[in-house]
Homo-oligomer: A and B are copies of this chain.
Amino acid sequence: MSSGIIPLPIHVEPETRTQAGPTFHLGDCRDILSDYPNDYFDLIITSPPYADARKNTYGGIHPDDYVTWFLARTAVFQRVLKPNGTFILNIKEQAKNGERHTYVLDLILALRTQGWLWTEEFIWHKKNCHPGKWPNRFRDAWERCLQFNLNRKFNMYQDAVRIPMGDWSKERLKKLGKNDVRRFTSQVESGFGKNIQNWVGRDLAYPSNVLHMATECGNKNHSATFPKGLPKWFIKLFTQEGDYVLDPFVGSGTSCHVAHELNRHSVGIDTVEDYIKQAQHVYD
């Protein structure tokens, strides 16, 4: 797992670190992370505020300024991420004036210039996407989950996300009710079944780079959460128990909550006080 003693962040009290829950910080991740040592995190996973022309809103960074704004933060991520760690970025460009924005494409290219390797692009297929109907466009049912690394060798625990498949599972399905079969099937397709543990050890297959997940936002106060299953999958794939996970735009805290459930240490940062209070409140 971890190799040697990991120094504690300077400003974090020891009793905070020995608490059961994640560590939450209020502030800009650039500033907060300056107190963290090099090579500290095994995984950085985040769904940052998307570019938005509207001012005075959370995430109101103009598309034209977005790359510059973002790279100032990813420069710090490079320092605190372990050499064998992974950075997962969940993002999707909106349509504006009939066209898709290009700032995400610009961002990928800029991150490579900054030194990141663009290892993979996972697709999150949102099975229950936002309603709507337009003459020139169907509903947007997917988002990008971009994987970046610092080295070509990185930690990946593929066995942790295997899914049941094959003849054996068919036998098993015979014993289940019709409703259960339908739900199980969707679990198999998605790779995010709740009760995957029950099938561990028998005829497991590896998933692909398309993730089928319904959106389920447990928290109505924060509009921008991803469903628990999404960070869960990546945390299992790229970390082991006892590892360190960072979400620098943690919002309502989903990724840290999940990391905690999976026995990973985690740090969540956000500039909005309400989110941090609310995320922390679970552990008070």
A208 to B117 Cα, complex, angstroms:
31
**Hey, what's the 0/1 contact readout for A248-274 against B, CB within 8 Å counting as 1?**
000000000000000000000000000
**Stretch with Cβ within 8 A of B (4 or more), from A10-18, A19-27, A39-47, A133-141:** A133-141
Indicate whether A123 reaches chain B with its CB closer than 8 angstroms: yes
The distance in angstroms between the C-alpha atoms of A142 and B123, with both chains bound, is 8
Query: Is A100 positioned at the interface, with any CB of B under 8 Å from its CB?
Result: yes
Chain B residues closer than 8 Å to A206, beta-carbon distance = 133, 138-139
Instruction: Indicate which residue in B95, B102, B131, B133 contacts A120 across the interface (CB closer than 8 Å).
Output: B95
Residue of B nearest to A135 (CB): B156
A118 to B138, Cβ gap below 8 A? no
Residue of B at shortest CB range from A149? B98
CB distance from A3 to the nearest CB of B (A): 20
Interface string of A156-197 (1 = CB under 8 A from B): 101000000000000000000000000000000000100000
Give the Cβ gap from A175 to chain B, nearest Cβ, in Å: 20
Taking a contact as CB atoms under 8 Å apart, the answer to whether A97 and B136 are in contact is: no
A156 vs chain B, min Cβ distance (A): 6
| Interface residue A108 (Cβ < 8 Å from any Cβ of B) | yes
Give Cα A131 to B95, complex, Å.
Answer: 34
Q: Using Cβ atoms and an 8 Å threshold, which residues of chain B touch A63?
A: none
Q: A209: nearest residue on chain B (CB-CB)?
A: B138
Q: Mark A136-155, 1 if CB is under 8 A from B, else 0.
A: 11111110000000001110
Q: In the complex, what's the smallest C-beta–C-beta distance from A117 to chain B, in angstroms?
A: 5
Q: Please report the C-alpha to C-alpha distance between residue A48 and residue B252 in the assembled complex, in whole angstroms.
A: 44
Quick one: copies of this chain in the complex?
2
Q: Is A112 an interface residue (CB 8 A)?
A: yes
- Contacts A125-B123, A131-B192 given: A139-B102 contact, CB under 8 Å? no
Contact B100 A121 (CB under 8 A): yes
Asked if A5 CB lies within 8 Å of chain B CBs, one says no
A117 to B137, CA, bound (A): 14
Q: Is the CB of A118 within 8 A of B140?
A: no
User: Which residue of chain B has the shortest Cβ distance to A112 in the bound complex?
Assistant: B102
Interface flags, A203-214, vs B, CB<8A=1, else 0: 000111110000
Report chain B residues within 8 Å CB of A136: 119, 152-154, 156
Chain B residues lying within 8 Å of A109, measured Cβ to Cβ, are 102, 105-106
Q: Which 9 residue pairs spanning A and B have beta carbons closest together?
A: A141-B208, A98-B152, A139-B208, A141-B210, A105-B105, A138-B209, A99-B117, A142-B210, A123-B142
- Other than the given A97-B152, A105-B105, 4 more pairs (CB < 8 A) read A95-B120, A135-B156, A139-B206, A142-B210
Residue positions of A touching B, CB distance < 8 A: 95, 97-100, 102, 105-106, 108-109, 112, 117-121, 123, 125, 129, 131, 133, 135-142, 152-154, 156, 158, 192, 206-210
